[in-house]
A and B are shown apart, each in its own frame.
Chain A
Amino acid sequence: MNAISSDFAPPLKLIAPFFRYGVIFYLLSMMALLFFDPSFSYQQMEVAGWLHLFLLGFVMMVIFGAMAQLIPVVLEVGHVVVDVYYVILPLLGVGTTMMIAGFWLVPPLLSYGGLLVLTGMVIFAFENIATLKKSALRNLTVDTVKWSNGYLLLGILTGFSIALGFAGSVSIDVALMLKAHVYAVLGGYVLLTIMGLSLTLIPMFSLAHGFDEMPIRQAFKLVVLGVGTVFIGALLGTEWGMLLGYLLSFAGTLFYIWQIYIIAMLTVRKEVDVWAKSMIFAFGSLIFAMMAGMVYLLTDAESMLHTAVWFFLLGFVSLMIIGHLYKIIPFLVWFERYAPLVGKEKVPMLHEMYSKEGASVMFGFTASGVVLGGLGLLFECDILFKAGGSFLFAGAIFLYITTKKMLAYGQ
């Protein structure tokens, strides 16, 4: 392992807006949940609009910002053209807003917004691939970045085909293309990226060392294969192909959970801060989502599918991201504003740079909201679902306030 130069680190002014706008989109998506009821179809335009608000506005926005910072750490080289992130941000932000307006209010905007998002993501994927080529490093995380970016491109292309299909510009089977699109983005990009990054970040923050990486290697192979199988199965319309792909992905995710368990057993830091609580809740949600998903495959009960997706997105993906925001943002702010002062004057510790009370309230509301909303979907109970949405919205307000304060610390 060579030295990782601080020269590779992008400036805070480039990365911070991704987190700031990502959290605003999260707040808006939690607010929008208040207007949904628990019986719906995932093919409805309102639901598709909400999913894009959450996934593009929050998940992708934060992941892109995090990748701008973490790619040099993981690959040990600087970005080829880090300034492209100044272009990606407005493309993703404006494109997402237009797409949501297209889904909910003005359908023609969908294609135009989709085109902006497509452009931003293609720039992101190609910059990542160019940086990958520059790095001499070859390890599991590098492979994960490579595959996840490939699936992102496939996800974008299928998504754009769907937008053109809705607009009547091309003739495609939207339902099958939708499955290919959802799986390429969620399994191929989001899950693989989280798997790769968490293998770097979780041991780093928990000070776990010397663990066996066999499970994550199996997890990675199985998820890559599983996503590819579902993708091809969906494009060809073969149900058994998709089923095989789901099972491979399930097996891969089980190996991933096993890897995290091994790391958790070797964790040195026992402090249960907002990051640790978020990780525990996120992996608990992932296990529950898998169980609900398995029941859905066996029974075909739609409520089980909704519950599985809910716990995967709002329990696992959300909490994985939110928990890490309380580690990454203080570090970025500290690195920019306090690192030059080390040895010259007293500088704060990272854990002093966010409100523990605010973070704790955020976690309480969010975790309660996920559980209540999930039960609301499971039992198709409107009151429980609305209660869950309200708790999640309250948690999102606290996330917004604490994030704003972290970014402004020491200004």
Chain B
Amino acid sequence: MCNITKETAFEAISTVIDPEVGFNLVEMGLIYDVIVDEACNVHVVMTLSTQGCPLHQMIKQWVQEAVEKLEGVGTVEVEVVWKPAWNISMADENVKQALGGA
């Protein structure tokens, strides 16, 4: 029986902070989906705020490590996609207000 849910995975990923803007990836709206199968394998679908991000690999690794900390997790895969392209409307209200895009 797998105890990991989409919500717990999102919670784990919310510990990963973007060092440039200072917000976590979940409130930035960069995590598009998390799929957890019956064997507790986790597949994260995410994007980045810019395609030329020099931290691309590192952020992917941080997300993977954050999910791997969950008890009972199987394999963790992180997929970075560019469609749909990220925009500020995907972020939480507090992010929009802090960045000035609200």
Q: Which residues of A contact B (CB under 8 A)?
A: 1, 3-7, 9, 69, 73-74, 200, 203-205, 207, 209-210, 268-271, 331, 334-335, 338-339, 342-343, 347-351
Bound CA–CA A23/B55 (angstroms)? 26
Q: Are A5 and B53 in contact (CB under 8 A)?
A: no
| Interface flag for B56 (CB, 8 Å) | yes
Per-position contact with A for B1-38: 1 when CB-CB < 8 Å, else 0?
00000000000000111011110000000000000000
Q: Are B66 and A343 in contact (CB under 8 A)?
A: yes
Closest to B98 in A: A271
Q: Are B57 and A6 in contact (CB under 8 A)?
A: yes
Per-position contact with A for B38-53: 1 when CB-CB < 8 Å, else 0?
0000000000011111
Partner of A5, one of B20, B52, B57, B62: B57
A-B contact pairs, 24 of them (CB 8 A): A6-B54, A6-B55, A9-B54, A73-B52, A207-B21, A209-B85, A209-B87, A268-B99, A268-B101, A269-B99, A269-B101, A270-B99, A270-B101, A271-B99, A271-B100, A331-B20, A334-B19, A339-B58, A342-B58, A342-B62, A343-B15, A343-B65, A347-B19, A349-B22
Partner of A204, one of B50, B62, B86: B50
What is the size category of the interface that chain B forms with chain A? 20 to 34
Q: How far is the CB of B36 from chain A (nearest CB, A)?
A: 21
Task: A209-B87, A210-B85, A270-B99 given; name 18 further pairs at CB < 8 Å.
Answer: A3-B80, A4-B52, A4-B57, A9-B54, A73-B54, A74-B52, A207-B49, A209-B50, A209-B85, A210-B87, A269-B100, A331-B20, A338-B19, A339-B58, A343-B15, A343-B16, A349-B17, A349-B19
Bound CA–CA A348/B17 (angstroms)? 10
Closest to A2 in B: B56
Interface of B is mostly: loop
Q: Which residues of B contact A (CB under 8 A)?
A: 15-17, 19-22, 49-58, 60, 62, 65-66, 80, 82, 85-88, 99-101
Q: Which residues of B contact A7 (CB under 8 A)?
A: 57
Partner of A4, one of B56, B65, B99, B101: B56
Bound CA–CA A1/B83 (angstroms)? 11
Report if A351-B22 is in contact (Cβ < 8 Å); known contacts: A268-B101, A271-B99.
yes
- Cβ-Cβ contact count across A and B, 8 Å cutoff: 80
Bound CA–CA A331/B21 (angstroms)? 12
Q: Are B60 and A3 in contact (CB under 8 A)?
A: yes
Q: Are A1 and B51 in contact (CB under 8 A)?
A: yes
Q: Which residues of B contact A342 (CB under 8 A)?
A: 16-17, 58, 62
Q: Are B58 and A6 in contact (CB under 8 A)?
A: yes
Report if A200-B100 is in contact (Cβ < 8 Å); known contacts: A209-B87, A343-B65, A343-B66.
no
Q: Are B22 and A4 in contact (CB under 8 A)?
A: no
Closest A-B pairs by Cβ, 9 of them: A270-B100, A268-B101, A268-B88, A204-B50, A349-B22, A1-B51, A4-B56, A6-B57, A73-B54
Q: Which residues of A contact B49 (CB under 8 A)?
A: 207
Closest to B91 in A: A268
Q: How far is the CB of A114 from chain B (nearest CB, A)?
A: 35
Q: How far is the CB of A150 from chain B (nearest CB, A)?
A: 23
Partner of B56, one of A3, A69, A207, A349: A3
Q: How far is the CB of A332 from chain B (nearest CB, A)?
A: 9
Q: Are A207 and B58 in contact (CB under 8 A)?
A: no
Report if A350-B99 is in contact (Cβ < 8 Å); known contacts: A73-B52, A207-B49, A342-B62.
no
Q: Which residues of B contact A271 (CB under 8 A)?
A: 99-100
In this complex, the member of A4, A204, A207 whose beta carbon has the largest number of chain B beta carbons within 10 angstroms is A207
Q: Are A335 and B54 in contact (CB under 8 A)?
A: yes
Q: Which residues of B contact A351 (CB under 8 A)?
A: 22
Q: Which residues of B contact A269 (CB under 8 A)?
A: 21, 99-101
Partner of A207, one of B15, B17, B60, B88: B88
Q: Which residues of B contact A3 (CB under 8 A)?
A: 56-57, 60, 80
